[in-house]
Amino acid sequence: MAVSGMKDFPEVTNIAMVNGIQLNYHDTITCRMIPRQQFMEDYFDAKYWEYLTGLGNTRSDMAKENLNTLMKSTNQTSEIHTFQWIATVEITGDGSVKRSMRFGFDGKDFMSLGPDRFRCIATNHNAVKTKEKWNSDESWNKYWEMHLEQGFVQE
């Protein structure tokens, strides 16, 4: 989640959860990925946490950039605003994998990523320009396709 207009609060926070259990945490104040479960800290070495920290920092930069772009495109450059994105991977009882990603702006649905073609679908009239930009950027689409297909589940 990216937030603007809040003093003494991280601009971006990132968490990873599995079955409702938080595994790690990252924010733009600490700029580090922190394990939230002892087994995660015990199992993965320092190189892995450095890798996740780099990923968290990169995604934080992306989230801040997206929030700033949305604020400008909606002429809302002051006060408190939020940009949230949730990536979900579900392994069903039959072993199939369902992937999705949703984006929200100021607490309202903004856009979703269609899992079949990895193209954005605007769920809000303010999302149309962003959807067109993201859908025309093949590297953006390939990044999220790889992230959702390989980043969460090893099949």
Which domain-ending residue is among 59, 75, 91? 75
Question: pLDDT by residue (tens digit) across 96-150?
Answer: 878 888 999 999 999 998 766 678 889 888 888 888 888 898 888 787 777 777 6
Q: Residue 28 in contact with residue 61, Cβ under 8 Å?
A: no
Is 7 in the same domain as 71?
Answer: yes
Is 64 in the same domain as 113?
Answer: no
The pLDDT assigned to 151 comes to 64
Range of the domain at 136: 80-155
The pLDDT assigned to 116 comes to 63
Q: Pick the more confident residue, 152 or 70.
A: 70
The pLDDT assigned to 115 comes to 66
Flag whether pLDDT at 152 surpasses 80. no
Is 91 in the same domain as 150?
Answer: yes
Which domain-ending residue is among 75, 101, 117? 75
Buried b (16+ CB within 10 A) or exposed e, 25-45: bbbbeeeebebeeeebeeeee
The pLDDT assigned to 145 comes to 76
CATH number at residue 142: 3.30.500.10
Is 49 in the same domain as 15?
Answer: yes
Is 94 in the same domain as 68?
Answer: no
The pLDDT assigned to 80 comes to 94
How far apart are the C-alpha atoms of 110 and 67, rounded to whole Å?
12
Flag whether pLDDT at 153 surpasses 70. no
Which domain-ending residue is among 45, 75, 105? 75
pTM: 0.82
The pLDDT assigned to 110 comes to 92
Two tokens at 47? 């190189």
The pLDDT assigned to 19 comes to 87
Is 32 in the same domain as 52?
Answer: yes
Report how many helices (DSSP H) and strands (DSSP E) the chain contains, helices first. 4, 8
Is 2 in the same domain as 64?
Answer: yes
Question: pLDDT by residue (tens digit) across 21-80?
Answer: 999 999 999 999 999 999 999 999 999 999 999 999 999 999 999 899 889 888 888 889
Is 92 in the same domain as 153?
Answer: yes
Is 1 in the same domain as 68?
Answer: yes
User: What average pLDDT score do residues 85-98 get?
Assistant: 84
Is 69 in the same domain as 115?
Answer: no
Is 87 in the same domain as 149?
Answer: yes
Is 39 in the same domain as 98?
Answer: no
The pLDDT assigned to 35 comes to 96
The pLDDT assigned to 154 comes to 54
Number of domains in the chain: 2
